[in-house]
Amino acid sequence: MGNSTVIFTGPCQVEMQEKERPCPGAGEVLIRTEQSLISTGTELTFLKGEYPENSKWSTYINYPMSSGYSNIGVIEDVGEGVVEELVGKRVASFSGHAQYVIAKAEELRMINYDIDPEHATFFALAETTINGIRRTGIEFGNRVVVYGAGIVGQLAARLLLAGGCTEIFVVNRSEKRLEILPKSPAIIPICSSKEDPVEVVRRVTKGEMADIVIETTGNADVIPEEFLVLHQQGKFCMLSSPKKKTLIDFHDCSNAISVNIIGAHTSSQAPVATYDNPWTCERNSETFFKMIHNGQIDMSGMVTHRASYKEAPEMYQMLLNDRTQAMGVVLDWR
């Protein structure tokens, strides 16, 4: 039986190809995909093939290649050693864009709530965002500046709002993306093509400036400017993955004002839950799903494009032409 699959055949080239439907091995499950989310950051880097020579990116990209890591589906079959009771369960997995995918049972994110599958597709990026917020030690009443209003920036704003931050500045050049933010007095959009973020933060905070910056743009050229909104001993959380070197004066940006720079890659989540640190990747996804179910975060507006999987090549071409007009791009495999 066939298995339609998204394949990057070369730089800026996408095809739908029919593959053989896989069978689960020991410890694995077969998932029938319902919906999958296109990552407009990482996946476009893979598709464009633009990365610094000898960087880690060069080890990830090898055409032809499958892509995607935000898959929601229903378990159809299980391999040896996996309980049959999982069949029929809806799960999230870091699987690619295909009608049928294989995943290790131990790496599944169970969806135990009646939530919209297309909202659940954001789980992978939500894990990264939640992990960054935890590692940064953000507290009630903090003033936070989020640079970038893409998917991660949007998720950060929603989670910070639910977490009790009182001033959440979101900086982006595109007003269209800022319009997707939740409407709350705590969220302060700043269109950087029209306003100076430093001046806005200074005015709103009456000169006290921000406690924390969360960087989600991946724009190596603007990152040094982002330190200017912080007060003495502030924190700078790095959630993005710039594709080139960032030239930064560590004396001025970090040492002189004692700013803490915090990396928050998804790999820094706890590998095993303990009483001191129960926040594994699975637990962070569980938190995300529960917050959607409870109405603590509003995902409306996050999906701007919905398309049949058969239209995947057109969706990628649209993003290559101008991704600023899109937020969540969901492929429907049902």
Q: How confident is the model at residue 148 (pLDDT cuts 50, 70, 90)?
A: very high
Please tell me the predicted confidence (pLDDT) of residue 258.
95
Please tell me the predicted confidence (pLDDT) of residue 59.
79
pLDDT 10s digits, 153-192:
999 999 999 999 999 999 999 899 999 999 999 999 999 9
Residue located via tokens 């880690």: 56
Please tell me the predicted confidence (pLDDT) of residue 288.
97
pLDDT at 9 over 90: yes
DSSP 280: B
pLDDT at 211 over 90: yes
For range 2-14, the mean pLDDT: 95
What SS3 class is residue 17? strand
Please tell me the predicted confidence (pLDDT) of residue 119.
97
For range 214-231, the mean pLDDT: 96
Reported as type and span, the H/E element at residue 231 is: strand 230-238
pLDDT 10s digits, 223-242:
999 999 999 999 999 999 88
0.75 exceeded by pTM: yes
> What is the token pair recorded at 231?
């007060």
Contact 43, 67 (CB under 8 A): yes
Residue type (1 letter), 54: N
What SS3 class is residue 29? strand
Residues 6+ apart with CB under 8 A from 241: 41, 42, 218
Domains of the chain (ranges; CATH) run 2-122+302-332 (3.90.180.10), 133-268 (3.40.50.720)
Q: What is the rounded distance in angstroms from the CA atom of residue 85 to the CA atom of residue 77?
A: 10
Please tell me the predicted confidence (pLDDT) of residue 61.
84
Q: How confident is the model at residue 41 (pLDDT cuts 50, 70, 90)?
A: confident
Instruction: Please provide the average confidence, as pLDDT, over all residues in the chain.
Output: 94
Contact 136, 212 (CB under 8 A): yes
> What is the token pair recorded at 222?
């603007």
Please tell me the predicted confidence (pLDDT) of residue 325.
84
DSSP per position, 235-246: EEEE-S--SS--
pLDDT at 55 over 80: no
pLDDT 10s digits, 103-134:
999 999 999 999 999 999 999 999 999 999 99
Contact 237, 227 (CB under 8 A): no
pLDDT at 65 over 90: yes
> What is the token pair recorded at 82?
């996996």
pLDDT at 1 over 90: no
Please tell me the predicted confidence (pLDDT) of residue 324.
86
